[in-house]
Structures are given as C-alpha cells and as structure tokens.
Amino acid sequence: MAKVGDDMKNIKVGLLGCGTVGTGVAKMLLVNGELIQKRLGTGLELKYVADTDTRTDRGIDFADGVFVDDAFKVVADPEVDIIIEMIGGESVAKALILQAFENGKHVVTANKALLAKHGNELVRAAAGKKVDLAYEASVGGCMPIIKTLREALIGNNIAKITGILNGTCNYILTKITNEGISFEEALADAQTGGYAEADPGLDVDGLDAAHKLAILGALAYGMRINFDDIYIEGISKITPLDIQFAGQFGYRIKLLAISKNTGEKVEARVHPTMIPVDNILSNVDGTLNAVSITGDAVGEIFLSGHGAGMMPTASAVISDTVDIARNLLSGSRTDRIPTMGYQAAKVRKIPVMSIDELVTHYYFRFEALDEPGVLSKISGILGDFQISLKTVHQMGRRTNGSVPVVMLTHYAREADVKNALAEINGLNVVENDPVVIRIEDKNNKY
Ligand code: HSE
C-alpha cells in the first residue's frame, strides 16, 4: 500500500464492476490520468478492474493482469489502497465493501440503494476500521451535492432540500408536458432511447429518488439514514390532462424529493408536485437533475447537472477517489470530515413526520356528472373536513359523460384530504378515483 508522505508512489485503485459507470471511471483514470496527477501530485493507478462479464468490449486496452473476474481477489490484495464499488445491488456489493473495510481499504461507491438501506451499518463499519467511505456519485450524478452539504455549508442550519433526483422520471414528465403523450408512451420512448431500464419500477415508482433523499436528509440534519419512513409516490398516474390544467394555473408537474427540518421532526417525501412555472426547478427538463438547498446563512442555493450517465457519474467517483488519495498522501485522519457530515456521537434518530400530518395546498380533479347540485355536494364534504377552496373550475371537457372539475385548496391537512376524498368517492355523482397532486408554492409557509 502507498505510505503516508510517500508521494513518489502511485495510489493503487481496484475497480469493482465495469458496466456503464465503471467503464467511465476506467476511461477517466486512463484518459485524464495526467491531468489528475498534475492536480493530485501522484498518479492514480488502476491496478484491477473486476467484472464477471469478460467478453464485452469496453473500448479500453487494459494492460495484462488488470482485468479480472474475481472481485474478492481485488479487495484481498494488500497493495490496493482504494476500492471503487460500481457493481450496484445490495448483497454482493455489501459483502465486498465490508471485506474491503476489514482489509483496511477505503471505499468509493455510487450505490444509493445500498446506502439508503444499509448505510448506517456501513458507516459504522468504516469508522471501526478507520477507513473512508465516500459516496458523492450516489446522489445527483455529477452534481457535487454531498460535498456541498458536508463541507461547503458546514456553518448553516439546513432548513429545506427540494430536488429533482431522478432523470428517468424527469425525462418522462418533460415528454408528457411537451408532447401531450401518455405516461405509457413517454416511458416506452425513454426505454427506446436508453433513458429508462427495461424494469423501470425503481425509477418511475419514486424509490430511486427516495434512496437519494434518505442520504441527503441524513447529511443535512445529522440524523441516521431513514429510508423506510419516507413517503413515496411515483409518476405513473400523471396524465397530459393534469399537466395541461396545471399549466393553466401557472404550474408544472415534477417528481420532487422534498425534505424540511421542522425542528423536532423532519419532513421527507417523494411525489409528483405542482410548482410555479417561475420556480427554477420547473425549468429543469429532460434527464437533468437539480437540487435546491436552503440554509440559514446562505439562503437558497441551487445545483443542476447530469444525474446519470457514464462520464458525469465517473466525474463524481474520481472526485471522491482524489479526496481519499489526498488524505493518504497528507496523512490526514480518515474522520477529518465525518462520513455523514456530523460527528458520529451527534447523529440522532430524528422522527420523520407522517404524511398524514402534512399541511400544504392541493390540486384535485374529479370526474363528476354535469348536473345540478354536484359541485355543492363535493364542496360540502370538503368543508366538513375543514378544507377550504381557493378556486373551482368546471373545465368543460366531457369524458364519457362526465366533466372534469378541478379544485385548488388553501392549506389543508393530508389526513383531512384523505378522509374527505374517501367520502366523496362514495357519491354516485363522481366517477373514478379523484386525482390528487400536492402543490409546493414559492411562499409555502409549511
Ligand atoms: N436511474 C437514475 C435516474 C440514475 O434515472 O436518475 C441513477 O441514479
């Protein structure tokens, strides 16, 4: 292994997984190796690339002995300083990372699902072995959001994080918005274009964005990673009709990951959200990701960039790798910057607010029969549950003998909304389940 202060020797890196991002990492180390050396002062030597797929041509000419099919051999090699885990998934990746820690190696990963579900255990294991666990590429691809929260904003109380954290969903919603096509058509287009997986569930059901929100919330507020308590709703029910109506009220629909620190509790939710067209996030389109962070000193700051893809993600992986290499070369303690941003002893289990307690503005669309008394029945029930209406529109477009009735509410409580809508659903003048979309206004006071 490279020794402290031994700046003549290269730092040796073992890359596990040579799929899209792994290939990007290998390419960046080889093609931009000289540039990295000029900045780091020492070379990063790719000692191994491990992948069970030994047939695919990655367009890289690896030296003899570099490409291996056994990742456990890489984490066992005493010469390797830093392991870059690009395998993804939970079981093998976790076993390899734990073995790497056991063998005193530092680890860089982009594996947000693993961190969201097992991150607390991995952080403890790394600390126990006094090695680094770095994960910039796990959230937002190339956007330096982890470094921003962990280092740049260290003097700030973070009040709020709002992000577009899934490029697949953003691509699909942008397509529906611009072309008026259905969710199914937009998803098929994303799959043809290589922007969505054959099994798109993790993305379109909101889970991938929630994995990322779990990591950001923990970093921002000094809480344990708590994925299980995040409220998650995907985009599969979003229709061109609701997007069109949203536009008429001055909103666009995005899949937002929202987290707010309310003091004793944290709000954490992922769902389709109406945001004003002049909100900067409204104009982040296609596969781009973006995140807005509100801190008590900085106010609001905004990052945007490619949240996925070979070279953007590799850029974040190399940033982490160089940080670790700098620690190695300077002899810094690995906990110089705590893995989760706060001193381990200060990380708390902060409760996540139930979605039922949420207070926000809502958009409802009912398919109602176009006959006398229908509106008063619906609004009467809403009134019974203390839900006050800001505006009501009968949109005048008949669908199967019914008419879309759209309502925007003043602040209302989610539990009241659920109860009222259940009662309205029982009316024989309303067809199908109502559409409910939460609104995040610029001046949302909650
Ligand atoms: N599947 C993710 C997305 C990229 O669509 O944004 C990797 O996090």
Residues 169 and 226 in one domain: yes
Residue 399 is predicted with a pLDDT of: 56
Residues 298 and 236 in one domain: yes
The length of the chain in residues reads: 446
CB-ligand 1 contact for 235 (6 Å cutoff): no
Query: Cα 110 to the chain's mean position, in Å?
Result: 12
**How much distance in Å is there from the Cα of 315 to the middle of ligand 1?**
15
CB-ligand 1 contact for 142 (6 Å cutoff): no
- Domain assignment present for residue 119? The answer is yes
Residue 72 is predicted with a pLDDT of: 97
**How much distance in Å is there from the Cα of 213 to the middle of ligand 1?**
13
Is 389 in contact with 382 (CB distance < 8 Å)?
A: yes
Active site residues: 212
- Domain assignment present for residue 90? The answer is yes
Q: For residue 354, what are the contacts with CB-CB under 8 A and spacing of at least 6? A: none
Among the candidates 303, 338, 369, a domain finishes at 303
Residues 283 and 157 in one domain: yes
Kindly calculate the radius of gyration of the chain based on its CA atoms and give it in whole angstroms: 24
Q: What is the DSSP string of 405-439?
A: EEEEESSEEHHHHHHHHHHHHTSTTEEEEEEEEEE
Residues 240 and 276 in one domain: yes
Across residues 9-30, what is the average pLDDT? 95
- Domain assignment present for residue 44? The answer is yes
- Domain assignment present for residue 112? The answer is yes
Give the DSSP H/E element, type plus range, for residue 305: strand 299-306
CB-ligand 1 contact for 138 (6 Å cutoff): no
The neighbouring-strand residues paired with 48 are 14
Residue 213 is predicted with a pLDDT of: 98
Is 273 in contact with 254 (CB distance < 8 Å)?
A: yes
> Which of these, 185, 353, 194, lies nearest to 261 by C-alpha position?
353
Is 438 in contact with 360 (CB distance < 8 Å)?
A: yes
Residue 263 is predicted with a pLDDT of: 83
The type of residue at 221 is Y
The answer on pLDDT for 446 being more than 80 is no
Print the domain residue range for 429: 355-439
Q: For residue 269, what are the contacts with CB-CB under 8 A and spacing of at least 6? A: 230, 231, 232, 257, 258, 259, 355, 358
CB-ligand 1 contact for 208 (6 Å cutoff): yes
Nearest CA to ligand 1 atom 4: 308
At 171, is the pLDDT very low, low, confident or very high (cuts 50, 70, 90)?
very high
Distance, CA of 403 to CA of 392 (rounded, Å): 13
- Domain assignment present for residue 2? The answer is no
**How much distance in Å is there from the Cα of 418 to the middle of ligand 1?**
31
This model's pTM is above 0.85: yes
**How much distance in Å is there from the Cα of 233 to the middle of ligand 1?**
16
Is 275 in contact with 282 (CB distance < 8 Å)?
A: yes
Is 141 in contact with 307 (CB distance < 8 Å)?
A: yes
CB-ligand 1 contact for 292 (6 Å cutoff): no
- The sheet carrying 106-109 orders its strands as 67-68, 44-50, 11-16, 82-85, 106-109, 133-134
Looking from the CA of residue 197, the nearest atom of ligand 1 is: 1
CB-ligand 1 contact for 203 (6 Å cutoff): yes
Domain CATH number, residue 255: 3.30.360.10
Probe ligand 1: pick from 114, 136, 168, 284, max atoms within 8 Å of CB? 168
At 262, is the pLDDT very low, low, confident or very high (cuts 50, 70, 90)?
confident
Residues 333 and 367 in one domain: no
Residues 134 and 149 in one domain: no
| Token digits of residue 230 | 């995040």
CB-ligand 1 contact for 308 (6 Å cutoff): yes
CB-ligand 1 contact for 51 (6 Å cutoff): no
Q: What is the DSSP string of 310-322?
A: HHHHHHHHHHHHH
Residues 19 and 122 in one domain: yes
Residue 129 is predicted with a pLDDT of: 96
- Domain assignment present for residue 3? The answer is no
- Domain assignment present for residue 181? The answer is yes
Among the candidates 303, 337, 366, a domain finishes at 303
Q: What would the pLDDT profile of 108-159 be if each residue is shown by its tens digit?
A: 999 999 999 999 999 999 999 999 999 999 999 999 999 999 999 999 999 9
**How much distance in Å is there from the Cα of 433 to the middle of ligand 1?**
30
Residue 444 is predicted with a pLDDT of: 63
Q: For residue 402, what are the contacts with CB-CB under 8 A and spacing of at least 6? A: 367, 368, 369, 370, 431
Distance, CA of 439 to CA of 252 (rounded, Å): 10
Q: What would the pLDDT profile of 15-25 be if each residue is shown by its tens digit?
A: 999 999 999 99
Residues 334 and 416 in one domain: no
**How much distance in Å is there from the Cα of 420 to the middle of ligand 1?**
36
Residue 264 is predicted with a pLDDT of: 86
**Domains in the chain: how many in total?**
3
Burial 285-319 (b: 16+ CB within 10 A, else e): bebbbbbbbbbeeeeeeebbbbbbbbbbbbbbbbb
Distance, CA of 206 to CA of 366 (rounded, Å): 24
Residues 324 and 289 in one domain: no
The answer on pLDDT for 8 being more than 50 is no
Place of tokens 């740049």: 152
**How much distance in Å is there from the Cα of 139 to the middle of ligand 1?**
9
Residues 299 and 151 in one domain: yes
> Which of these, 445, 441, 446, lies nearest to 278 by C-alpha position?
441
Q: Is 372 exposed, middle or buried (0-12, 13-18, 19+ CB in 10 A)?
A: exposed
Residues 291 and 157 in one domain: yes
Residues 192 and 257 in one domain: yes
Probe ligand 1: pick from 203, 212, 213, max atoms within 8 Å of CB? 203
Looking from the CA of residue 313, the nearest atom of ligand 1 is: 7
- Domain assignment present for residue 446? The answer is no
CB-ligand 1 contact for 168 (6 Å cutoff): yes
> Which of these, 381, 446, 390, lies nearest to 419 by C-alpha position?
381
The answer on pLDDT for 68 being more than 60 is yes
Probe ligand 1: pick from 175, 208, 287, max atoms within 8 Å of CB? 208
Nearest CA to ligand 1 atom 2: 166
Q: For residue 61, what are the contacts with CB-CB under 8 A and spacing of at least 6? A: none
CB-ligand 1 contact for 307 (6 Å cutoff): yes
Domain CATH number, residue 45: 3.40.50.720
Domain CATH number, residue 412: 3.30.70.260
Is 15 in contact with 58 (CB distance < 8 Å)?
A: no
CB-ligand 1 contact for 163 (6 Å cutoff): no
Probe ligand 1: pick from 21, 166, 199, max atoms within 8 Å of CB? 166
- CA angle 23/24/30 to nearest 5° reads 90
